[in-house]
Structure 1
Amino acid sequence: MSVEQTAQQPAQLEKRLGLPSVVAFGLAYMAPSLVMVIFGVIAVESAGTAPTAFLVASGAMLLTALSYAKMAKHYPVSGSAYFYARRLLNSPIGFLVGWSILLDYLFLPMVAWLVQSVYLNAQFPDIPVWAWMLLNAGLTTLINIVGLVLSDRVNMVLTIFAVFLVLLFVGYCLVFLVHHQPASYTAPLWNPTSTVAGVSAAGAIAAYSYLGFDAVTTLSEETRNAKKNIPRAVVLVIVIGGVLFTAVAYVMQLVHPGFDFGKAGAEQVAGYTLSIDVGGKAFADWTNLAGIVAGFASGLAVQLSSSRLLYFMGRDGVLPKRFFGTVNARTKTPIWAVAFTGLMCFVGMGLTTDVAYSFINFGAFTGFTIVNICVIAFFIRKRGTKSGLSVIGYVVLPAVGACVTIWLLTQLSPTALIIGFSWLAAGFLWLLWLTRGFRRPTPSMRLNDTGAELPDPETRGIPAVPAPTPTAGEPDHLDDLGRRR
């Protein structure tokens, strides 16, 4: 290929991330200190068995994580659930899945900035929440535009610091327990007031803490050896997060047995109250810093993954391609997609955290359900051409995972469901316009299983050459339009 031809090629994402970096992005997305923030709510809902609720949530989310790992292994492409659905179901369904999870990916940066800004405003009340929103969104947007290397380094430092502060809090709790022996070490796991229904309901709430493990799949085209590292990262994020959340909740439940926090609403600030009990007011202020640091790291990671989904959908042409579907030649980042997510902070200025969270849960659990279904569809399509596809791994576990995520969808508030289905209806209308009432195919780039663009004979005037029929036992590779490659 000549230098002139190379220069004319559009810039693409570059593979710069290793396994530790991808895992760090996933953990930052989930926010390690979140367990301290929602502990009181989980303890009340589970009747004093918060660690069991987190354990149930970990198991439930692990089923879906295994499905994401399988899909990421077979299709190391940044489109995540959007691409899997397009490839294994059909293009219109894939579009609607992508549109649905935009609620998660597009609005979650806004939520991360909003939560962090509320914390900062509580610590420094002279500066209003809207000012903190602008500062947080501006900083993460600038870092993500400058380049992936800077984003990786900043995220790694902040994630390590946030985990350190959580572990420091656990250390103070253990010292407190040395001087205040708990009456029972098993009561936090199960006690006379515990019920299966209560723990299940608490597990559904705790499952929201795991949103973001799937986001590492959006980094597939920027990860070295993505077929191996992305599946590992997806599972590691859930396992590490699950162990951390469960262990911290167990220690906190030992420090504060039961689920009585004194007055109504006190469970909302139980983590801060426990920090005062075990370390004093000054220490509590420092642990509050863990939430602030984790919030910034989460905003950075969330915006990074959100911009990659926008970029992938723009590259396909289902979103404006010139704006979303291009990569800056110098920074190797989709700067306009990053900038667009940064502008979402203006939407968050007029919202409360409860309303903001209702935007994201519908999209997340819809995406989780579809990915589980995609694994089953992959098994049905490939069972005759790929060896090693077990019924347990590719049918039973994904089916159970889909049932769990559908149940989680039913547990969402009426507000979340109204917002979700309204957004989905808007996406359907957009799809009708794009396809002129389904008289045209859904726009897409023709990509192979690694995300590389394939030439399209039909649209580029190149005579189509039929591919040879595969011999027995040879994998049957089909492109996005169902044609053999």
Structure 2
Amino acid sequence: MTPVARLFRTKPTERIVAEGGHGEGGELRRTMSLWQLTLFSVGATLGTGIFVILGQAVPKAGPAVVLSFVLAAFTALLSALSYAELAGTIPVSGSSYSYAYATMGELVAWVCGWCLMLEYAVSVAAVAVGWGGYLNAFLRSLAGVELPAAITASPGQDGGVVNLPAILIVALATWLLLHGASESARANAVFVLIKVAVLLFFCAVAFTAFRAGNLTPFAPLGLAGVTAAASQVFFSYIGFDAASTAGEEARNPRRDLPLAILLSLAVVTAVYVLVAVAAVGARPWTEFDPESTEASLSAIADEAAGATWPGLVVSFGAVVAIASVVLTVLYGQTRILFAMSRDGLVPRVFQRVDPRRQVPVANTLIVALFVSVLAGLVPLGQLAEATSIGTLFAFALVNVGVVVLRRRRPDLPRGFRVPFFPVTPVLGAVMCVVVMAGLAGVTWAAFGLWMAAGLACYFLYGFRRSRLNTEAA
């Protein structure tokens, strides 16, 4: 086999599924129900955009930011349908990395896995940074105290040295993950219920101050503004695919993974649109400050009620609930690295499973350390946009993967089939490219550097140590 052919050698679907759950030293345990899987995806998604990114998106689109959320949701739905089909066909921990390996070959799988590292590890860091802003808002409302900027801001921001609250929440999520998948799922369920309750409370308060005049002009910055905001708020939909990373710990993966992905996206979209309408109806869009967004929902709740206690409730809810995003997305990153390690593309330490806890302990600790450094030292805005472009690229590959696998292996059992094939996955890939085009040039430059680094890692390490290539030699 020529070197070029080895780069695009696919891994048989049956082999990927057969290897599921097995790691070095032990196996993962199948404990997650449909309810837990759905809440895992909701927990990974709901809160990131509304609690953190909404304030940055409104100045770009005005009241039409509501349409930006709908456009981003439509883009996410097209990819979610493709994820649902592949998750029901290849129910393993690798998510889109494993799907690409089965359809487009090892090099494309590596690129997809590298993008997932950007999606998962960097989004965890971005959310952790936002959590610190809400912690400060909560302490300010509760006791009139505020943590000093030196320990709550990134270097170069308002005298920041290191963001300690962001590091703290990553450490807490790591502690929960080390106790096992089922324990983490139970903790996440509590976090998600709190999060939904708080957001519904915010809507109830904000609608008391709703003014129809705040919605006119509806799209002051035109279609370009709506598209630009959609590119940014797409970050808030990152996470609906989290259930697909639990393929080797789900009780009935072929049935439950597709349902969990689609149910979670429906819940998240409904809540996002409702909160966005309440927010722009309660406060004129021109008063949203893109430079001070970490606790915008708390401020709107206080303004609407003419008191400080509603903002206190929202801030407390965010402090508790955003922890679920950190928990579930951190989980997803460890499981993707677990699958990549099993294929030999990253060091073997990432697939070692503790036989007593049945979790990849070393993997979890290494990822937590990396995320902590990002969360403590890198500003939120740069993290959010870099995450979006990596995610969109991975989503585009998943849409292409559905088409390829349908053509090559129409005989495979599928727990879910994308409707209106092939129009839906093709449109999904196109929409991902459209939204990517709306991101800033500096984000593309950062993505290019990230991909160059990834390709260097693959050719220096992964290509030579790949299990498929070793067997072929």
TM-score, normalization: structure 2? 0.83
Deviation at 1:15? Answer: 0.8
Matched position secondary structure for 1:126:
coil
Going from structure 1 to structure 2, the CA distance change for 1:225 and 1:203 (only over 3 Å counts) comes to same
Deviation at 1:140? Answer: 1.1
Corresponding residue of 2:169: 136
Larger helix fraction of residues: 2
The runs of 5 or more residues in structure 1 that have no matched partner are: 1-7, 446-457, 460-480
Deviation string, structure 1 residues 187-237 (Cα, Å, up to 9, x no partner): 57x847473333222222221110111121000110111111110111111
Q: Summarize the alignment of residues 222-301 of structure 1 with structure 2, pairs less than 5 Å apart.
A: 222-256=249-283, 258-261=284-287, 265=291, 270-279=296-305, 280-301=307-328
In 2, distance between residues paired with 1:12 and 1:267? 43
1:350 to 377, 383, 387: 377
Deviation at 1:244? Answer: 0.7
CA contact (8 A) 2:135 2:315 kept: no
In 2, distance between residues paired with 1:385 and 1:31? 33
Matched position secondary structure for 1:35:
helix
Matched position secondary structure for 1:48:
helix
2:449 to 419, 422, 427: 422
TM-score, normalization: structure 1? 0.81
Q: Summarize the alignment of residues 68-467 of structure 1 with structure 2, pairs less than 5 Å apart.
A: 68-124=83-139, 125-126=146-147, 128-129=151-152, 130-177=163-210, 182-183=211-212, 187=215, 191=218, 193=220, 195-256=222-283, 258-261=284-287, 265=291, 270-279=296-305, 280-321=307-348, 323-344=349-370, 345-383=372-410, 393-434=420-461, 442-444=466-468
Going from structure 1 to structure 2, the CA distance change for 1:282 and 1:407 (only over 3 Å counts) comes to same
Would you say 1:15 and 2:39 are equivalent positions? no
Instruction: Decide which moves more: 211-220 or 105-114.
Output: 105-114
Going from structure 1 to structure 2, the CA distance change for 1:379 and 1:299 (only over 3 Å counts) comes to same
Deviation at 1:71? Answer: 0.5
Q: Which has the larger radius of gyration?
A: 1
In 2, distance between residues paired with 1:388 and 1:21? 18
Q: Summarize the alignment of residues 37-76 of structure 1 with structure 2, pairs less than 5 Å apart.
A: 37-76=52-91
In 1, distance between residues paired with 2:338 and 2:78? 28
Matched position secondary structure for 2:67:
helix
In 1, distance between residues paired with 2:418 and 2:179? 45
Deviation string, structure 1 residues 420-447 (Cα, Å, up to 9, x no partner): 2222212222222246xx6x684359xx
Deviation at 1:92? Answer: 1.8
Q: CA RMSD in A?
A: 2.9
Matched letter for residue 89 of structure 2: H
CA contact (8 A) 1:316 1:325 kept: no
Deviation at 1:36? Answer: 4.6
Matched position secondary structure for 2:196:
helix
In 2, distance between residues paired with 1:399 and 1:260? 38
In 1, distance between residues paired with 2:415 and 2:208? 50
Instruction: Decide which moves more: 34-43 or 49-58.
Output: 34-43
Matched letter for residue 340 of structure 1: I
In 2, distance between residues paired with 1:332 and 1:193? 54
Identity of aligned residues (%): 23
Deviation string, structure 1 residues 171-192 (Cα, Å, up to 9, x no partner): 2223445xxxx3469x57x847
Matched letter for residue 29 of structure 1: A
Deviation string, structure 1 residues 392-444 (Cα, Å, up to 9, x no partner): 63321111110111122222233322222222212222222246xx6x68435
In 2, distance between residues paired with 1:111 and 1:390? 34
Deviation string, structure 1 residues 16-62 (Cα, Å, up to 9, x no partner): 01111111111111133732543343333223222222112111110
Matched letter for residue 443 of structure 1: R
In 1, distance between residues paired with 2:326 and 2:118? 15
CA contact (8 A) 1:76 1:227 kept: yes
Going from structure 1 to structure 2, the CA distance change for 1:255 and 1:387 (only over 3 Å counts) comes to closer
In 2, distance between residues paired with 1:411 and 1:226? 35
CA contact (8 A) 1:88 1:378 kept: yes
In 1, distance between residues paired with 2:290 and 2:409? 55
CA contact (8 A) 1:33 1:163 kept: no
CA contact (8 A) 2:243 2:257 kept: yes
In 1, distance between residues paired with 2:36 and 2:366? 24
CA contact (8 A) 2:82 2:418 kept: no
Corresponding residue of 2:49: 34
In 1, distance between residues paired with 2:185 and 2:359? 13
Matched position secondary structure for 2:248:
helix
CA contact (8 A) 1:40 1:259 kept: no
Going from structure 1 to structure 2, the CA distance change for 1:389 and 1:349 (only over 3 Å counts) comes to closer
Matched position secondary structure for 2:91:
coil
Matched position secondary structure for 1:247:
helix
CA contact (8 A) 1:17 1:222 kept: yes
